[in-house]
């Protein structure tokens, strides 16, 4: 350990967790390296971990001109001068970020600030990078000197492999990652998300803390284990661990009283003290038990969120509008749902559309019970929200990701379209959101089948939605094919429409059928998951509304 102990305060470290067994890392195959990282092969040997980090980081593809250790030695005196390292001001791109000490000694704590300033000098294009202090503090543990740490961090920042995302360096990238995390929470941590919505005035603000949980609040031994896997597998690991943290927080705190103004602090405190309830091994075990989307699918979702932010002009740090501002109490009026209920629905929709305000497009009270008028008022809008109130005072609805004009591809016959972001929900008598399923016509299962397949409602079947067996070359089930110029045959089918009826595939076996007169409807329900149906199997419609999303 002597070679790498310059910046470490061993009195603060748990030396008993270190093993003196001499180990070498000889494997080069990704899958084997991945397993060793997850198992913590080098976690208990300080010197071995340092060598592994050096090897992994040196293999990162970088820009042709990437600052190295010699550059640091040339510039550090000019930039720092004779100022005390503890008094060095941090650049704006890490302003207000936590600067964790991670059991560093006084020299190490000062070195973090010096390296940050030198990186700011060499990377003028970095505009927002709150994770940087944590990464530097961690890598100082496994560096022989400041210059070596500087070089390793620079290689991470200068990675030029478009498929290998490492650290966010702009506010746009950071903010879109927060939105993507919110989308993933909505999908994979629904119980925790429901709790966040119930106790937080701005759930998006809570999720914007997700990187701070990892790079700031998480104790040294935990973030080091995460970083082991991160260097091998990339950014997706960070999402996994943050989701696992939220799941554990919900498990520990569910049923306890929480105040809306303290939820962020509560989660931060839980992560800081996570050793009281969860071991590093259990945290990673939970993280990798989540059946997360492929790296490509997450990248597509991130791209969609970045595009939404750019269209809103949100590219530099600013206060993000929350759900309460998106659904204005004074401007919102529905005959079916209250402002609070609409805000609950808004918390379920993809983050990039939660930036928008609801716009009433169609209501049977004003436009009559005509399917043709339903289409004429809804077409040209994507996505849309369908709300239904029955004569029995049941309230249900659906979030529909695709423009209803897509139905025209089938001519006068029933055609199938939509994406996996579609879902159905019930608000009365009880609130329930159902995971999506595919409306799958048997002919669609054949290889290369085009989405223009037609069928009658009676011959359509419902099956649980799943990602294709080889998702690496398929479109994400969350996104629309034409948004990314990908083959239309890869798009999933969740909606169907013709001049005679509408079919919407819900989740957990739920599906909604509406007749052409928009007076009657029925539901299809599978009892596999023992969920309550959307509403009565056969129902009469009292009011139907379609809402769009206004910038």
The DSSP H or E segment spanning 298 is helix 295-311
* Average pLDDT, rounded, for the chain: 81
Query: With 70 as the cut, is the pLDDT of residue 162 above it?
Result: yes
Token output for 34: 């991945």
At 311-347, the pLDDT tens digits run 777 767 654 445 444 676 677 899 999 988 888 888 8
- The pLDDT assigned to 436 comes to 55
Beta strands at 357-363 and 415-417: parallel, antiparallel or unpaired: unpaired
Query: With 80 as the cut, is the pLDDT of residue 116 above it?
Result: yes
Q: Tell the residue number behind the tokens 């501002």, with chain if given.
A: 325
Burial (CB count <10 Å: 0-12, 13-18, 19+), residue 152: buried
- Check if the beta carbon of residue 306 is closer than 8 Å to that of residue 483: no
334: left (phi over 0), alpha (psi -120 to 50) or beta: beta
Token output for 98: 């936590």
At 38-77, the pLDDT tens digits run 999 899 889 999 999 999 999 999 988 899 999 999 999 9
169: which residues sit within 8 A by CB, 6+ positions away?
A: 93, 123, 125, 126, 127, 128, 129, 157
Beta strands at 495-497 and 415-417: parallel, antiparallel or unpaired: antiparallel
- Check if the beta carbon of residue 200 is closer than 8 Å to that of residue 250: no
Cα(544)–Cα(105) distance, rounded to whole angstroms?
65
Q: Domains (ranges, CATH) in the chain?
A: 10-312 (1.10.472.80), 339-441+491-550 (no CATH)
Beta strands at 437-440 and 461-464: parallel, antiparallel or unpaired: antiparallel
- The pLDDT assigned to 209 comes to 93
463: left (phi over 0), alpha (psi -120 to 50) or beta: beta
**How far is residue 378 CA from its own chain's centroid?**
29
Q: Tell the residue number behind the tokens 């008094």, with chain if given.
A: 87
Give the residue among 141, 181, 196, 187 at the shortest CA–CA distance from 305. 181
Query: With 70 as the cut, is the pLDDT of residue 374 above it?
Result: yes
**How far is residue 5 CA from its own chain's centroid?**
37
Q: How far is CA 73 from CA 77, 107, 144, 146, in A?
A: 8, 17, 14, 9
Q: How far is CA 114 from CA 81, 91, 110, 125, 370, in A?
A: 10, 11, 7, 19, 69
State whether residue 30 is helix, strand or coil: helix
* Residue 368 CB coordination number (10 Å): 12
Q: How far is CA 479 from CA 8, 243, 372, 401, 476, in A?
A: 46, 21, 27, 9, 6
- Residue of 66 and 423 predicted with greater confidence: 66
Cα(246)–Cα(387) distance, rounded to whole angstroms?
31
The DSSP H or E segment spanning 423 is strand 423-428
The reported pTM is 0.75
Q: CA-CA-CA-CA torsion for 254, 259, 263, 265, nearest 10 degrees?
A: -120
DSSP string, 475-504: --TTS-GGGGT--GGG----EEE-SSEEEE
Strand partners of residue 388: 396, 544
Cα(38)–Cα(227) distance, rounded to whole angstroms?
10
- Check if the beta carbon of residue 304 is closer than 8 Å to that of residue 352: yes
- The pLDDT assigned to 449 comes to 33
Query: With 80 as the cut, is the pLDDT of residue 420 above it?
Result: no
Cα(1)–Cα(5) distance, rounded to whole angstroms?
6
Q: How far is CA 42 from CA 201, 214, 222, in A?
A: 43, 20, 14
- The pLDDT assigned to 440 comes to 37
Token output for 428: 């009365």
Percent of the chain with pLDDT strictly greater than 90: 44
């Amino acid at each position: 350990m002597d070679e790498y102990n310059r910046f470490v305060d061993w009195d603060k470290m748990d030396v008993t967790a270190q093993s003196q067994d001499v180990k070498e890392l000889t494997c080069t195959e990704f899958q084997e390296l991945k397993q060793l990282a997850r198992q913590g092969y080098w976690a208990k040997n300080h010197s071995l971990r340092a060598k592994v980090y050096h090897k992994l980081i040196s293999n990162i593809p970088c820009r042709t001109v990437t600052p190295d250790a010699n550059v640091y030695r040339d510039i550090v005196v000019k930039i720092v001068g004779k100022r005390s390292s503890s008094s060095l001001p941090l650049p704006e791109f890490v302003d207000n970020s936590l600067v964790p000490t991670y059991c560093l000694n006084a020299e190490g704590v000062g070195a973090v600030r010096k390296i940050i300033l030198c990186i700011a000098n060499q990377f003028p294009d970095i505009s927002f990078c709150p994770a940087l202090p944590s990464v530097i503090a961690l890598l100082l543990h496994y560096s022989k000197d400041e210059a070596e740490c500087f070089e390793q961090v620079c290689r991470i920042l200068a990675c030029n492999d478009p498929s290998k995302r490492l650290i966010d360096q702009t506010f746009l990238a950071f903010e879109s990652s927060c939105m993507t995390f919110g989308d993933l929470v909505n999908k994979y941590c629904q119980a925790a998300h429901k709790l966040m919505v119930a106790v937080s005035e701005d759930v998006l603000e809570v999720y914007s803390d997700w990187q701070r949980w990892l790079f700031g609040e998480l104790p040294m031994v935990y973030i080091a284990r995460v970083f082991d896997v991160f260097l091998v597998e990339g950014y997706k690991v960070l999402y996994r661990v943050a989701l696992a943290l939220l799941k554990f927080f919900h498990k520990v705190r569910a049923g306890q009283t929480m105040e809306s103004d303290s939820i962020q602090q509560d989660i931060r405190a839980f992560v800081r003290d996570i050793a009281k309830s969860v071991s590093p091994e259990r945290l990673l075990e939970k993280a990798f038990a989540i059946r997360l989307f492929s790296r490509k699918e997450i990248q597509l979702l991130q791209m969609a969120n970045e595009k939404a932010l750019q269209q809103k002009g949100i590219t530099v740090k600013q206060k993000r509008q929350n759900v309460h501002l998106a659904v204005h109490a004074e401007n919102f009026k529905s005959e079916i749902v209250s402002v609070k209920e609409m805000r609950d629905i808004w918390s379920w929709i993809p983050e990039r559309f939660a930036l928008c305000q609801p716009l009433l497009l169609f209501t049977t009270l004003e436009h009559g019970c005509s399917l043709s008028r339903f289409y004429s008022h809804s077409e040209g809008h994507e996505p849309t929200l369908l709300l239904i109130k029955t004569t029995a005072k049941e309230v249900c609805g659906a979030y529909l990701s695709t423009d209803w004009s897509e139905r025209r591809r089938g001519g006068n016959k029933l055609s199938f379209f939509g994406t996996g972001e579609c879902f159905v929900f019930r608000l009365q008598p009880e609130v329930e959101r159902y995971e999506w399923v595919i409306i799958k016509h048997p002919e669609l299962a054949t290889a290369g089948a085009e989405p223009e397949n037609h069928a009658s409602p009676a011959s359509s079947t419902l099956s649980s939605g799943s990602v294709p067996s080889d998702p690496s070359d398929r479109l994400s089930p969350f996104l629309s094919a034409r948004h990314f110029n990908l083959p239309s045959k890869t798009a999933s089918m969740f909606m169907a429409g013709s001049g005679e009826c509408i079919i919407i595939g819900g989740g957990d076996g739920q599906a909604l059928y509406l007749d052409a007169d928009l007076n009657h409807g029925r539901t299809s329900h599978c009892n596999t998951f023992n969920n309550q149906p959307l509403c009565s199997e056969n129902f009469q419609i009292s009011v139907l509304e379609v809402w769009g999303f206004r910038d």
